[in-house]
């Protein structure tokens, strides 16, 4: 929880530590409670059977076949929730800027959650040859819109998590961050900018690609399997140099 006075060495000494961070947000705040509730509501919007309980065997099977899209969407939502949770625990900020960024993040996830589900359902339907159900009939132009909306939403969500870390970095003196915490904060800013730029790239491809080249707007996210581990190695090297 944000305090009136800056963090002192005496107060920091009483905090729990996780990794390189002393957990300034050890107590759950009203803001964090609201954010958790909003993300929980977003997850309920991803339930396997959206309309109602299956009334016959075929509807039951269709609901089960929707599980892969639900699982992928679920973990995408959880990724952003974990990002905000880690930020909140590390810094415990609840000032005006933190409140604004967190509320906009909540607003974005509630808007993006349905396009997220549609995008994953369409992807699984396409790559399974129609064995897994499409959310609805999709032509190439409709797929273009889905990829573009998803890419923009992914970009915005990652940018707001990065902005929260930027805010903590600006308040590093007030938070009394040590050298390792300052470096790790910078690393987190970069780590969230990478998927943000990936989402922006996916949106750009979706807007200009033609025909099956449009699928590159989805495949571009696979590049994070390389870019993020490379960044982790760079971040570890940065810590090593500082320790030396």
Give the 3-state secondary structure of residue 227: helix
Q: Cα(80)–Cα(75) distance, rounded to whole angstroms?
A: 9
Identify the bridge partners of residue 18 per DSSP, sorted by sequence position: 21
**Polymer length in residues for the chain:** 244
What secondary structure does DSSP assign to 182-208, as a single string?
HHHHHHHHHHHHHHHHHHHHHHHHHHH
Contact 167, 160 (CB under 8 A): no
Tell me the pairing of strands 21-22 and 17-18.
antiparallel
Angle formed by the axes of helices 67-91 and 57-65, to 10°? 40
- Which residues, other chains included, contact 117 with Cβ-Cβ below 8 Å and sequence gap of 6+? 45, 46, 69, 70, 73, 135
Identify the pLDDT of residue 102: 96
User: 201: exposed, middle or buried (C-beta count within 10 Å: 0-12, 13-18, 19+)?
Assistant: middle
Identify the pLDDT of residue 185: 97
Q: Cα(3)–Cα(162) distance, rounded to whole angstroms?
A: 23
Contact 109, 154 (CB under 8 A): no
Q: Where are the domains of the chain?
A: 18-243
Q: Cα(144)–Cα(239) distance, rounded to whole angstroms?
A: 42
What token pair was written down for 162?
């990065």
What token pair was written down for 60?
């039951």
Tens-digit pLDDT string for the chain (244 aa): 444 578 998 889 888 888 889 999 878 888 899 999 999 999 888 875 455 667 788 878 877 888 898 899 999 999 999 999 999 999 999 999 999 999 999 999 999 888 888 889 888 888 888 888 887 777 888 889 989 999 999 999 999 999 999 999 999 999 999 999 999 999 999 999 999 999 999 999 999 998 889 989 999 999 999 999 999 999 999 888 877 6
Identify the pLDDT of residue 1: 46
Q: Cα(16)–Cα(23) distance, rounded to whole angstroms?
A: 6
Identify the bridge partners of residue 22 per DSSP, sorted by sequence position: 17
Give the position of tokens 């900020």. 93
What token pair was written down for 41?
């509501």
Give the 3-state secondary structure of residue 49: coil
- Which residues, other chains included, contact 24 with Cβ-Cβ below 8 Å and sequence gap of 6+? 7, 12, 15, 90, 91, 92, 175
Identify the pLDDT of residue 51: 54
Q: Cα(118)–Cα(4) distance, rounded to whole angstroms?
A: 45
């Amino acid at each position: 929880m944000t305090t009136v006075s800056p963090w002192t060495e005496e107060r920091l000494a009483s905090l729990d530590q996780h990794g390189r961070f002393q957990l300034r947000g050890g107590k759950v705040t009203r803001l964090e409670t609201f954010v958790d509730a909003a993300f929980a509501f977003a997850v309920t919007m991803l339930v396997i059977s959206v309309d109602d309980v299956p009334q016959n065997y075929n509807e039951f099977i269709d609901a089960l076949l929707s599980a892969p899209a639900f699982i992928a969407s679920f973990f995408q939502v959880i990724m952003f929730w974990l990002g905000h949770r880690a930020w909140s625990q590390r810094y415990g900020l609840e000032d005006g800027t933190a409140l604004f960024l967190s509320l906009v993040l909540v607003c974005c996830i509630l808007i993006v959650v349905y396009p997220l589900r549609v995008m994953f359902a369409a992807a699984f339907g396409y790559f399974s040859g129609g064995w897994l159900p499409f959310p609805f009939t999709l032509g190439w132009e409709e797929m273009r819109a889905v990829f573009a909306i998803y890419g923009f939403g992914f970009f915005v969500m990652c940018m707001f998590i990065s902005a929260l870390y930027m805010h903590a970095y600006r308040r590093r003196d007030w938070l009394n961050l040590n050298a390792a915490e300052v470096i790790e904060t910078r690393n987190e800013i970069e780590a969230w900018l990478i998927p943000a730029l990936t989402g922006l790239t996916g949106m750009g491809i979706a807007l200009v690609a033609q025909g099956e080249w449009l699928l590159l707007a989805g495949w571009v996210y696979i590049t994070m399997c390389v870019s993020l581990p490379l960044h982790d190695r760079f971040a570890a090297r940065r810590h090593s140099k500082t320790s030396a």
